[in-house]
């Protein structure tokens, strides 16, 4: 039964992701917004850092969490297995050139993140239970598209079980199994342990999630980047050749063949979106809770997500895999998180694999708790506040299932739900892009004065 589901979900995933309409649409919207907003990635970069540092606070601002906590919550969802397992999967299936297309997706994704989070703040709702926002509220309040809003909320709730839950714990087991193969036999123990830890956090709501995320995210990012830097320093002589290989495989069909370049684009864009979630509409739910009455201000904060997640952390992982030659020398059954662990261990020994395994566990934990919030906001939108607690209970229980089911099946489900989430969100971004441009221009004019 599981084998049949794996094949069917793989066929559907291939149909959705293996065509140029999907890839062109995702990159095209990011490119359109980048041009429409005057390359806001550059103009707003420095200002966004100042906002995150807390330099722009106003009395009377409404919200549940600070700018930094909102960014940490959103980053805790994106800095996950995509940075370790997703990059490795992209390179093993699409070649080194996939990393370049992850960079492209991230740069264009910064404009997408800015747009979707600005809209989430503008159209959010605040009631006695707190703040609720995201593409479903943008579609409902901004475009009066209730059915499309419900469509997004449904697939966001389903996606929370895939990209935010099953994939995360499954990859933790995969990474730990590289260090200690016997872990596979007791994968359910890993699942139960993570389920208990997650349950203690998510039952406390967004404020507890934000508090935990703002503690874990900076710590785990610094540790992982530091270890990756050690690998790159050890292999510094290989870095020029590695960068040349990445660009060749990404852009030169005469050197590697047109099919190879096509696979690089396909897997680079797919895993880039999985990692930084630009266009999915997930992180605007976290940013909508920020304490500010200036939508553009939080949009600028959200813009930093793809930069940190993909242009910094994913690049470290990808370069480590390429400079060590792990994608060529690793055994055929070493894929995903175990390929990253293999690459690190090739350069710094067993300590590298242990760091990857531990980092993966922390990354996955933070992603699981953040996505639980995205899921419960979606469930609340569809069924009301009464459905939130049952959702959290089911979400926690499924963590155990994620530790046991086959990795390929889980990734297929995540890919399918990703694209089904993205479609209604991207429609909203295009239709409301003129409004966002107007808001951005007015904000920067006021800020300059």
CA distance 231 to 233: 5
pLDDT at 110 over 90: yes
Q: Which residue has the higher pLDDT, 18 or 30?
A: 30
**Where does the pLDDT of residue 60 fall: very low under 50, low under 70, confident under 90, or very high at 90 and above?**
low
Q: Output the pLDDT for position 256.
A: 61
Global pTM value: 0.87
CA distance 80 to 240: 28
Residue 130 in 3-state DSSP?
strand
pLDDT tens digits, one per residue of 312-361: 989 999 999 999 988 888 887 777 777 888 889 888 888 887 888 777 77
Which of 104-118, 175-189, 377-391 is predicted with the least confidence, judged by mean pLDDT? Answer: 175-189
**Where does the pLDDT of residue 15 fall: very low under 50, low under 70, confident under 90, or very high at 90 and above?**
confident
Backbone angles phi, psi at 65, to 5 degrees: -135, 165
Q: Which residue has the higher pLDDT, 274 or 201?
A: 201
For the chain, the domain total comes to 1
Q: Which of 173, 34, 25, 28 is nearest to 114 (CA)?
A: 34
Q: Output the pLDDT for position 430.
A: 95
pLDDT at 54 over 70: yes
pLDDT tens digits, one per residue of 397-430: 888 887 777 667 777 777 787 788 888 999 999 9
The answer to whether the beta carbons of residues 433 and 36 sit under 8 Å apart is: yes
pLDDT at 255 over 60: no
73 is in which domain, residue-wise?
2-448
Mean pLDDT, residues 143-163 taken together = 90
pLDDT at 128 over 80: no
pLDDT at 437 over 90: yes
Q: Output the pLDDT for position 419.
A: 81
Q: Which of 33, 58, 48 is nearest to 300 (CA)?
A: 48
Q: Which residue has the higher pLDDT, 303 or 89?
A: 303
Q: What is the dihedral of CA 170, 171, 175, 181, to 10 degrees?
A: 30
pLDDT tens digits, one per residue of 63-74: 777 888 888 878
Q: Output the pLDDT for position 175.
A: 62
Helical ranges in 18-96 per DSSP H: 20-36, 40-43, 45-52, 67-78, 81, 87-94
CA distance 256 to 108: 26
pLDDT at 91 over 80: yes
Per DSSP, the chain holds a count of helices (H) and strands (E) of 27, 2
List 130's β-bridge partners, or say none: 127
Which of 56-60, 86-90, 98-102, 434-438 is predicted with the least confidence, judged by mean pLDDT? Answer: 56-60
Query: Where residue 274 sits, what CATH number does that domain have?
Result: 1.20.1740.10
Q: Output the pLDDT for position 113.
A: 95
The answer to whether the beta carbons of residues 346 and 326 sit under 8 Å apart is: yes
**Where does the pLDDT of residue 141 fall: very low under 50, low under 70, confident under 90, or very high at 90 and above?**
very high
Q: Which residue has the higher pLDDT, 225 or 417?
A: 225
pLDDT tens digits, one per residue of 30-53: 999 999 999 999 988 998 998 888
């Amino acid at each position: 039964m599981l084998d049949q589901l794996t094949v069917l979900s793989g066929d559907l995933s291939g149909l959705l992701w293996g065509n140029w309409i999907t890839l062109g649409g995702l990159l095209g919207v990011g490119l359109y917004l980048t041009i429409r907003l005057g390359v806001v990635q550059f103009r707003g970069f420095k200002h966004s850092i100042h906002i995150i540092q807390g330099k722009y606070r106003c009395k009377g601002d409404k919200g549940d969490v600070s700018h930094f906590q909102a960014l940490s919550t959103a980053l805790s969802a994106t800095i996950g297995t995509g940075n370790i397992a997703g990059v490795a999967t992209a390179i093993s299936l699409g070649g080194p050139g996939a990393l370049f297309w992850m960079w492209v997706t991230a740069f264009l994704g910064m404009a997408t993140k800015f747009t979707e989070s600005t809209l989430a703040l503008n159209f959010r709702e605040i009631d006695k239970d707190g703040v609720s926002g995201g593409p479903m509220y943008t579609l409902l309040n901004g475009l009066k598209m209730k059915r499309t809003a419900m469509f997004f909320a449904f697939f966001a709730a389903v996606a929370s079980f895939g990209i935010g839950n099953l994939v995360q714990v499954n990859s933790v087991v995969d990474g730990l199994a590289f260090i200690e193969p016997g872990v596979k036999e007791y994968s359910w123990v890993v699942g139960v342990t993570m389920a208990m830890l997650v349950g203690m956090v998510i039952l406390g709501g967004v404020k507890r999630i934000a508090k935990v995320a703002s503690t874990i995210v900076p710590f785990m990012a610094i540790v992982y980047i530091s270890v990756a830097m050690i690998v790159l320093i050890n292999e510094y002589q290989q870095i020029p050749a590695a960068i040349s290989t990445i660009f060749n495989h990404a852009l030169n069909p005469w050197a590697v063949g047109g099919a190879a370049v096509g696979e690089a684009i396909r897997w680079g864009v797919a895993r880039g979106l999985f990692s930084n979630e630009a266009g999915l509409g997930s992180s605007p739910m976290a940013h909508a809770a920020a304490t500010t009455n200036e939508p553009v201000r939080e949009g600028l904060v959200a813009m930093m997500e793809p930069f940190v997640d993909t242009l910094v952390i994913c690049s470290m992982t990808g370069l480590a895999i390429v400079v060590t030659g792990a994608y060529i020398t690793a055994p055929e059954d070493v894929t995903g998180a175990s390929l990253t662990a293999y690459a690190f261990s090739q350069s710094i020994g067993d300590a590298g694999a242990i760091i990857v395994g531990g980092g993966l566990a922390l990354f996955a934990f933070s992603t699981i708790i953040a996505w639980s919030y995205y899921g419960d906001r979606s469930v609340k939108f569809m069924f009301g506040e009464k459905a939130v607690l049952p959702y959290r209970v089911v979400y926690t229980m499924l963590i155990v299932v994620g530790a046991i089911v086959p990795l390929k099946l889980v990734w297929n489900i995540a890919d399918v739900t990703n694209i089904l989430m993205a479609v209604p969100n991207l429609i909203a971004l295009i239709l409301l892009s003129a409004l966002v441009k107007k808001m951005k221009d007015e904000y920067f004019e006021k800020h300059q004065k």
